[in-house]
Structure 1
């Protein structure tokens, strides 16, 4: 099994258990080689409530363009928590998207928790 197939298999297993509701939306994380993305999704209404990534101009300026590292993930985690507070969202369920809870994914989650988001 390739690495991508393993990730897809884990992602399907996670998504069968994790669902975003209006009271507790899903914080979905996607990690590519160069960037990291985070969305807060209400699955019952099929709407994205908040989203950010290392492509965000203010985050990109702070990183000097390189978003594929732990520092970028920390900034994205803090920004998504700030956007959630503006939208009156305090609790989310974390969807790591099939990626291991390690490195950039863990840094994003920790930064969001420190900024006041409850998982």
Structure 2
């Protein structure tokens, strides 16, 4: 066996539906521009997306009705993530002090 002889390596390939070119399985796109997407993963990502939360008045009403409610409970009631609730609480000026949600502006009185 000579030292110059190259070892032939077999590689798993897939066929591009656009140009019928064989590309390695690990590639995410074909040289022709076609992008291989895992359709199952794409369906999961679309089903996990929730509608954008825009009703800060509803959030404010829930917090004022029970100021000791946890962010996770508010998120479950509104059907959004806890991070979304936290961001909107900050946007409407609510902070947690001594286990209660209070406004950030001082009350004149």
Identify whether the pair has TM-score above 0.5, normalized to the shorter chain.
Answer: no
The higher-RCO structure (CA 8 Å, 6+ apart) is 1
- Pick the structure with more helix per residue: 1
Greater CA radius of gyration, 1 or 2? 2
TM-score normalised to structure 1 length: 0.24
TM-score normalised to structure 2 length: 0.26
